[in-house]
Copies of this chain bind each other. A is one copy, B any other.
Amino acid sequence: MKISQKGLYALQAMMMLARHHDQGAIRIRDIAYEEVLPEKFLELILLELKNARLVESVRGAKGGYQLRRPPSEIHLSEIIRLIDGPLAPFGDAEQLRSLIDRDLEHRALYQVFLEVRNAAAKILEHTTLADISGENLSKPRKRPRQKKNERASVLPMVVSGNLRKGRE
């Protein structure tokens, strides 16, 4: 899966809405300004997010956008799938399963593709806006406590020694 510029904008906008959750509707202009996104393009993205029922709009003067669910119940996978399509590196999961069944010659290759998509899904289907938007101001009633540097579960802290091999 490739995340496009548009996909990144969508994620950033959603993070911003998560930060300002329970502050009522936020205007497109304010989101665009705060996140430094092209306003008209953002408008299209929010429209899409609204049609997918991830956000809701308030029309007319004093209108704007807000999340339809609490940040802790919106997974990154939902946003990414909506804007950039399936998580699999090639085709989608269903297609890969079918190829694994039918294309004996390349079965093992598609199996690897499916493994990659499952690894991505595992992460993105378990990470929510609450995990990444730095707004544990709302309901942080889980786990003992953590002074600063919250969301320790999501940030693997340096991710450890990394197989680096030239490019990438």
Complex: how many Å from CA A81 to CA B163? 14
What sequence of 0s and 1s flags, for each residue 79-121 of chain A, a beta carbon within 8 Å of any chain B beta carbon? 0010000111110111000000000011111011111111111
Give the secondary structure class of A's interface.
Answer: helix
A167 in contact (CB, < 8 A): yes
- As for how many copies of this chain the complex holds, the number is 2
Q: Which residues of B contact A58 (CB under 8 A)?
A: none
Inter-chain contact B123/A168, CB cutoff 8 Å? no
Q: Which residue of B lies closest to A35 (CB)?
A: B105
Cα of A56 to Cα of B5 in the assembled complex, Å: 37
CB distance from A103 to the nearest CB of B (A): 10
Q: Is A146 part of the binding interface, using a Cβ–Cβ cutoff of 8 Å? A: no
CB neighbours of A119 from chain B (8 A): 116, 119-120, 122-123
| Residue positions of A touching B, CB distance < 8 A | 1-3, 7-8, 11-12, 15, 76-77, 81, 86-90, 92-94, 105-109, 111-125, 127, 131-134, 151, 154-156, 159, 162-165, 167-168
